[in-house]
Amino acid sequence: MEKIMSESNSVQRELIHLLHDVQNKFGYIPAQSISQISRELKVSESEIFGVLTFYKAFTLKPRGKHLITICMGTACHVRGAPMILDEFERKLGIEAGETTEDNLFTLETVNCVGACALGPIAIADGDYHGQMKTREVGEIIKKLKQEKGKSIE
C-alpha cells in the first residue's frame, strides 16, 4: 500500500488511477485503504466511496483466485449467455457476483466486452472463450482448477 501511495502523484484527479492500482495489487479495495487514499489525495472518504461503488471494476470484497466474467451484453444475451451463466452458477454453486467458499472462483457478469461477434463470451482469468457452449463450462472450470492459477496480480 505504501509503495502504491509513494508512486502516486497525490493529486485529486489520480483517484481512479490509484484505485485501479490498489484493486490490481490486492484483488479488491480493502476498507482501510480508503482512509489512506483520503489522506493522500485530500478527498473525503465518502467521495472515494462514491467513486468506487460507481465503477464495476472496483470491489470491496476480496475476489477468488480465479475470476470468471460472463458477458451479458445484448448480442451475447440473444445467443444464449443466460444459459452459460446458469451453467457456471450450477457448477460452482454460487450466484453471479459471489465467490466460492474455498475462495477459488469469483463469478461476475458485465454488460458487453466489445467482442459481440464472438458471443456468447466467457472470460476466465483474462482468457477469452468465444462462442461458448454449456458443455464447455465444466472444461474451463477443470482447467482453472488444474492450473496453479495466475494470481490476480
Give contact residues for other proteins (rule: CB under 8 A). Answer: 31, 34, 38, 42-50, 53-54, 60
- Residue 146 beta carbon to other proteins: minimum distance, rounded to whole angstroms: 37
C-alpha cell at 69: 466474467
Residue with cell string 468506487: 52
Instruction: State the Cα–Cα distance between residues 80 and 74, nearest whole angstrom.
Output: 10
The alpha carbon dihedral of 25, 29, 30, 33 has a sign of positive
CB of 37 to other proteins, least distance (A): 11
CA distance 118 to 73: 12
Closest separation in Å from C-beta 124 to other proteins: 26
Q: What are the strands, taking DSSP E only, across the chain?
A: 66-71, 105-110, 122-124, 127-129
Instruction: Find the shortest distance in angstroms from Cβ 42 to other proteins.
Output: 5
Q: Which is nearer to other proteins, 50 or 93 (CB)?
A: 50
Least Å distance between CB 85 and other proteins?
Answer: 20
Residue closer to other proteins (CB basis): 14 or 125? 14
Distance CA 83, CA 66 (A): 21
Task: State the cell numbers at 119.
Answer: 458471443
Radius of gyration over alpha carbons of the chain, in Å?
17
Identity of the residue, 31 or 78, whose beta carbon is nearer to other proteins in the bound complex: 31
Nearer to other proteins, 40 or 87 (CB): 40
* Beta carbon nearer to other proteins, 36 or 134: 36
